Amino acid sequence: MLEIHNLYKRYGKFKALDGLNLEISKGELFGFVGPNGAGKTTTMKIVSGLLSADSGEVFVDDIDAIRDRQALKKKIGYMPDFFGVYDNLKVIEYMEFYASIYGIEGKEAKKLCYDLMELVNLSDKAENYVDGLSRGMKQRLCLARSLVHNPELLILDEPASGLDPRARVEMKEILKNLSSMGKTILISSHILPELAEMCSSIGIIEHGKMVVKGTVQEIMNTMNSSNPLVIKVLDEQDLVIRLLKENPLVENISIKEGSISIGFRGGQREEAMLLQSLIASKVSIHSFSREEGNLESLFMQITEREDMSGGAENEN
């Protein structure tokens, strides 16, 4: 549905996008995560046809998004991270105004607008002034506005930012609902756990490059493979330590809270072999597993790793 190849964008000398690649399949709810300044908004604006790229390709289905912006507009609904709403309009007037931009007028417009307001839980606010809405309601109104032309691909830039926990949950439910209706959704955030539970896949962007992409579980598995292996034995701890010292894949050994924690260079197969050898030595193993990271530490790990390998510098 969406394909981005080698996308580059500079602001003056500053490299905001540095050869970004991304593919999203139809119907996916894709979480686009990265720290502040990573290049999320820049990418989303280019995909939505609001900003020019220096080079690279963007395709939405078979539409060349960089060269055919007219065709692109029909396919895409864009919700910016910062939006102005017309405070002196009522909610229904605001919606009808946007419908009219797409040539939808009269009864058809009214029906469409009420349907969309229902979708974002704003039906009972139709006659309220936009000015008096809470931030969460304004955010949902903006989402409804981006849906008036029934776009296939939704690009939502931090739709949950600045919302209280209840409003965030409400927004998430609406997005899940839109996803189950078959929309393809690209949603950005700088908070990984916030996206993890609802997104089918996640991509982490840092310094204008995609650094990791996959399902949350795939990303966790990859990252966890560099975490310590923790072995808890019921007795014979000294024997286990001696056996571990003989294993060339064991890098370091420490005792933590009654468990043996080791740096282990092997993958799953080597882990299984190590476990087998311990059992063959008649050691009573209580547990044997990689330490699991949480999403927050995972995000820090990935972005810190990128920092150390030297990403694009802000040359301004």
Shortest spacing between CB 37 and ligand ATP, in angstroms: 4
By CB under 6 A, residue 37 contacts ligand ATP: yes
By CB under 6 A, residue 209 contacts ligand ATP: no
Of positions 30, 31, 41, 141, contacts ligand ATP by CB under 6 A:
41
By CB under 6 A, residue 207 contacts ligand ATP: no
What CA–CA distance (Å, rounded) separates 287 from 240? 13
By CB under 6 A, residue 190 contacts ligand ATP: yes
By CB under 6 A, residue 36 contacts ligand ATP: yes
Angstrom distances, CA of residue 105 to CA of 40, 92, 94, 145, 166: 34, 13, 13, 15, 34
Shortest spacing between CB 292 and ligand ATP, in angstroms: 27
Given a contact cutoff of 8 angstroms between Cβ atoms, the answer to whether 33 and 190 are in contact is yes
175 phi and psi angles, rounded to 5 deg = -65, -40
What CA–CA distance (Å, rounded) separates 147 from 151? 6
Q: How far is CA 271 from the centre of its chain?
A: 31
- Show the CA angle centred on residue 233, arms to residues 232 and 238, nearest 5°: 115
Place of tokens 């690279």: 56
Question: Among the candidate windows 40-48, 167-175, 259-267, 285-293, which touches ligand ATP by CB under 6 A?
Answer: 40-48
By CB under 6 A, residue 266 contacts ligand ATP: no
Cβ-Cβ contacts under 8 Å for 125 (sequence gap 6 or more): 91, 117, 133, 137
What CA–CA distance (Å, rounded) separates 229 from 32? 30
Of positions 18, 22, 33, 34, contacts ligand ATP by CB under 6 A:
34
Site string for ligand ATP, 44-83 (x = CB under 6 A): -------------------------------------x--
Shortest spacing between CB 82 and ligand ATP, in angstroms: 9
Question: Among the candidate windows 8-16, 111-119, 247-255, 290-298, which touches ligand ATP by CB under 6 A?
Answer: 8-16
By CB under 6 A, residue 16 contacts ligand ATP: yes
Given a contact cutoff of 8 angstroms between Cβ atoms, the answer to whether 14 and 207 are in contact is no
Cβ closest to ligand ATP, residue 11 vs residue 86: 11
Of positions 6, 11, 55, 309, contacts ligand ATP by CB under 6 A:
11
Q: What order do you get walking across the sheet with 63-64 strand by strand?
A: 14-24, 2-11, 55-60, 63-64
3-state DSSP assignment of residue 77: strand
Site string for ligand ATP, 80-119 (x = CB under 6 A): -x--------------------------------------
**How many CB atoms are located within 10 Å of the residue 104 CB?**
18
Shortest spacing between CB 48 and ligand ATP, in angstroms: 13
Cβ closest to ligand ATP, residue 38 vs residue 240: 38
Cβ closest to ligand ATP, residue 156 vs residue 240: 156
Residue whose C-alpha is closest to residue 174's, from 207, 203, 139:
139
3-state DSSP assignment of residue 161: coil
Shortest spacing between CB 116 and ligand ATP, in angstroms: 26
78: which 2 tokens? Answer: 């864009």
Cβ closest to ligand ATP, residue 51 vs residue 285: 51
Interface contacts to ligand ATP, rule CB under 6 A: 11, 14, 16, 34, 36-42, 81, 190
